[in-house]
Amino acid sequence: MLAYSAQTTTYFEPWLNFRQPCVRQLAFTIASPNLIQHLPTELNIQHAFEIHPAELWQKYYQQYQERLIELDQNPAPLLQFLAQLKSTRLGLRFEMLIWFWLQDNPEQRYHPYEVIGHSLQQIEGAKTLGELDFLLLNHQTQRIEHWEVALKYYLAEGDYTLPHWYGLNRDDTFLKKLRHFTERQFQFEHVSSLDIQQKFAILKGQLFLPNVTAVTIPAWIQTARRLGKWGHTIPQQPMYRLTRHEWICPNTQATSAPAIWWCNDLYYDFSSQQPYMYRQPALIDFVYKCYNELHFKC
């Protein structure tokens, strides 16, 4: 366990430097670290997988920064690519942003990966066993890598250990997602004639702690990433309700007036750059279950 206090921490958040909303989201997708820095010891590992360190994502951002500046001046290539996505699910948009970055890489200029396949279904007879998000060749290591990507939002309750982190739908827990990675999504050792040599989970988004000044949190939580706050009370400072895409990264300016009428949703304080998840206790189980089923990919 380790002590955590947001007031004493400086964060690497270069996505806030861009103007175009889609470019801010792309910069966040690349530069932000995973929600965890290593696998929790409470997790029973069935099929092993790895987590990229925060320093590697910072390196990839720095190598891609020049291209992001170009896209911020002319976002047309990125907008055209994202236009292929008809769904409003944030998880799928996040996956598309990863895909854009992976394939926007002339002569391995920005990163060492070559996309071998995307959304590869594994079928045995009439049964679909699963699907791989990305199969990549890492030209630096000459290894075939399997990546699974997810954008998740979890709120801590209780003692902050792994079983006490809940998603927008309380049936979706952090523990359940990590189990799904190790039991189902990373079960494959081969794709066609190719051996999978490394497996990585790209697990980004936002974790939320109760609205208190300082807490003690598990060591597996990635503290290089700003942690949000959540609560049942309405903050005194002005906050703005975020649109769906702003859950990935808020726009440069508020897209709504300061919140007066509050509902279960994500809010943002532009002065402190602090996200706040407001929750109405009586509605948690029903409203957020419906909201999650409509808009988010598990």
- Confirm whether 179 is domain-assigned: yes
- Confirm whether 111 is domain-assigned: yes
- Confirm whether 276 is domain-assigned: no
pLDDT tens for 132-150 read 999 999 999 999 999 999 9
pTM (two decimals): 0.91
Residue 214 pairs with which residues in a beta bridge? 5
Q: Give the closest residue to 120 by CA, choosing from 93, 144, 142.
A: 144
- Confirm whether 256 is domain-assigned: no
pLDDT of residue 294 exceeding 80 = no
pLDDT tens for 107-124 read 999 999 999 999 999 977
Query: Using alpha carbons only, what angle is made at residue 255 by residues 34 and 91, rounded to the nearest 5 degrees?
Result: 30
What total of structural domains would you count in the chain?
1
Mean pLDDT value across residues 263-269 = 96
* Residue 32 lies in domain: 2-227
pLDDT of residue 297 exceeding 90 = no
pLDDT of residue 292 exceeding 70 = no
Mean pLDDT value across residues 262-290 = 80
Q: How far, in Å, are 118, 127, 191, 249 from residue 194 at the CA level?
A: 14, 21, 5, 36
- Confirm whether 263 is domain-assigned: no
- The confidence score (pLDDT) of residue 287 equals 47
pLDDT tens for 203-262 read 999 999 998 777 889 999 999 999 999 999 999 999 999 999 999 999 999 999 999 999
- Confirm whether 281 is domain-assigned: no
